[in-house]
Amino acid sequence: MKNENTDKVIPAWRFVTKVMVYHIVTYIICGMIFSHLMNYKELFELGNMKYYMRPAESIHSMVGPFFQFVRGLLFGVVLLMFRKNILTEKNSFLKLWALIVTLGIINTPGPAPSSIEGFIYTQVPLKFCIFGSPEILVQTFWFSYLVSGIDKKRERKVKPLNENIKRALINSIICVTGYSVSGIILSILLHVEVSSSTTLQSYIILGITAAVCFVLSFWYIKRQNINKPIYKVFFYSALYILSAVCPFIINMVTESPLQTPASLFICALPVIGMALYMERHALKAHAL
C-alpha cells in the first residue's frame, strides 16, 4: 500500500543519513567476513593484480572504511530522487538491488573488474572476479534490503516485542561495527597489518560479542521505562567490559599484536555509539 505522505513523514536529511549509515555498516561487516574467507591478501597479489590493487595490508586499504562516509552520502543523495518508489513499492529492495548490480557491477561505463567492459578490455584474472564478487553481491543485497525498509509504514501494528528485538539487533550491529573500527584504529596506531590481527579466533570473539550485546540490550530495553539509574549503570558498565576490557585481556593473554592500554580508551567508541542510539530512542519513545 502506497503512502502519499512519504515526503512529509521521512525528511530528506533523515533518509540520506540512514542510507549512509546502512552503507557503512554493511560495507565494514561484509568486508571483514569476506576478506578472511576469500583471502584478499593473496587475491590482491594474484598475477597482474598486484599492479592494479594496493596491498591488503597497506595504509590505504586500512583507512578505506573511513572513506565510506563519502560513498554512503553520495548513495543517499542519489537515491533521494527515488525515495518514494523505494519506500512504497512492493519488493522495492529487489528492484533497487537489481539496479545497483546492473549499473554498478555488471554494466559499468568503465572497464571495472567483474563488468562486461572489464572482461573485454582488461586482463583481470577470472579468479579475482569470481572470488571478489560474493562480497559485492551480498553487501549490496543487504544494503538494498535495509534501505527499502526505512520508516516504511505497515497496516498491521508492530508488536512491542518485535520492536524490542529490532532495537537490540541494531544495537548489536552498532557494537560489531564499532568493535571493527576500533580494531582498525589500533592497527593503524601500532603499525600492525590488519590481516595479521584478523584471524578465525577474532571472528568467533566478534560473534560472541554480538550475541552477548543483543541479550544485554534486550534486557535493558525492557527496563528503560522503569527509569532506575542502577539499570543504566549496570548496562553501560557491562557494555564497556564487553567491548573494551575483555578484548584488552584477550589480547594480553594471546600475545596479540594489538597489546596496548590505549585499547581501553579507543574501544570505548562502540559504547558511546550504542549509548547515543539507545538513549535517543528512549527519549523519542517518552515524547510520544
- For residue 48, the one-letter residue type is N
- Determine the distance from the C-alpha atom of residue 51 to the mean position of all C-alpha atoms in its chain, rounded to a whole number: 29
Phi, psi of 276 (to 5 degrees): -60, -40
pLDDT tens, position by position, for the chain (288 residues)?
444 444 445 788 889 988 998 998 888 888 877 877 777 878 888 888 888 887 766 677 767 777 888 999 999 999 999 888 888 888 888 999 999 999 999 999 888 888 899 889 888 888 888 888 889 999 999 899 889 887 655 444 445 557 788 888 888 888 888 877 787 788 778 777 655 455 556 667 777 888 899 899 988 888 877 667 888 899 999 999 988 888 888 878 777 777 788 888 888 888 888 888 888 877 766 555
Pick from 275, 242, 247: which is nearest to 261 by CA? Answer: 247
Residue 161 burial (CB < 10 Å; 0-12/13-18/19+)? exposed
- The pLDDT assigned to 224 comes to 74
Residues 142/94, Cβ–Cβ less than 8 Å = no
Identify whether the C-beta of residue 28 lies closer than 8 Å to the C-beta of residue 65: yes
**Could you give the CA distance from residue 237 to residue 234 in angstroms, rounded to a whole number?**
5
* Spatial distance between the Cα atoms of 174 and 5, rounded to a whole number of angstroms: 30
- Entry pTM: 0.63
Residue 166: other Cβ atoms inside 10 A:
12
